[in-house]
Structure 1
Amino acid sequence: MAELSTDQRNHLDEDKFAFPKQRKEPLENASHVRNAVARFNQVKDVTDKERDEAWHRIQRAARKFDVQLDEKSWHELKAKK
C-alpha cells in the first residue's frame, strides 16, 4: 500500500476519507480503497448512518480507481467476520 506520511494525511481534505469526521480510512488510491474495506468494521464509535455514508464514499472511490467490490452493502462485511 502507498503509505501516507503524517503530514500528507493531515493535509488531506475531509472528503478524502471514508470516515471524514474521524479522519479514518483515506481513499487516495486503489490500495487505500481495498484497505478501507478490510478495516471497515474496525472503525469504532460511528453510527450506522456514518457507516452508510462511508460505504458510499468507498464505492465512489472503488469506481474511480477500478477496484472490484464483491459487497453491495457494508452489512455484508459484518456477515464475513
Structure 2
Amino acid sequence: MSRLDEKARDALPEGDFAFPKERKEPLENASHVRNAIARFDQVKDVSDAERDAAWKRILAAAKKHGVTVHEKSWRELGKPKA
C-alpha cells in the first residue's frame, strides 16, 4: 500500500476519506480502497448510519479506481461466502 505522510494526509479533503469526520481510511487510490475495506471493522466509535455512508463512499471509490468489491453491504464483511 502506498503510504501517506502526515502532510499529504492532512492535505486530503474530507471527501477523500471513508469516515470524513474522523479522517479515517483515505480513498485516493486502489490500494487505499482495498485497505479501507480490510480495516472497516476496526474503526471505532461510529454509528451504523456513519458506516452506511462510509460504505457508499468506499463503493464509489472502488468503482473509480477499478477495485472489485464482492460484498453488497459492510455487514457482509468477514462472513463466509455461501
Under a length normalisation based on structure 2, what TM-score does the superposition of the two structures give?
A: 0.94
Q: Which runs of 4+ in 1 moved over 3 A?
A: none
Query: What is the number of equivalent residue pairs in this alignment?
Result: 80
Structure 2 runs not aligned, ≥5 long: none
TM-score, structure 1 as length reference = 0.95
In structure 1, the residue matched to 2:66 is 66
Residue 72 of structure 2 aligns with an amino acid whose one-letter code is K
Which residue matches 1:19?
19
Secondary structure class of the residue paired with 2:25: strand
Counterpart Cα distance in 2 of 1:78 and 1:18: 18
Report the RMSD for the aligned CA atoms in angstroms. 0.9
Q: Name the counterpart of 1:39.
A: 39
Gaps of 5+ in 1: none
Residues 47-79 of structure 1, C-alpha deviations (whole Å, 9 max, x = no match): 000000000000000000000001010000153
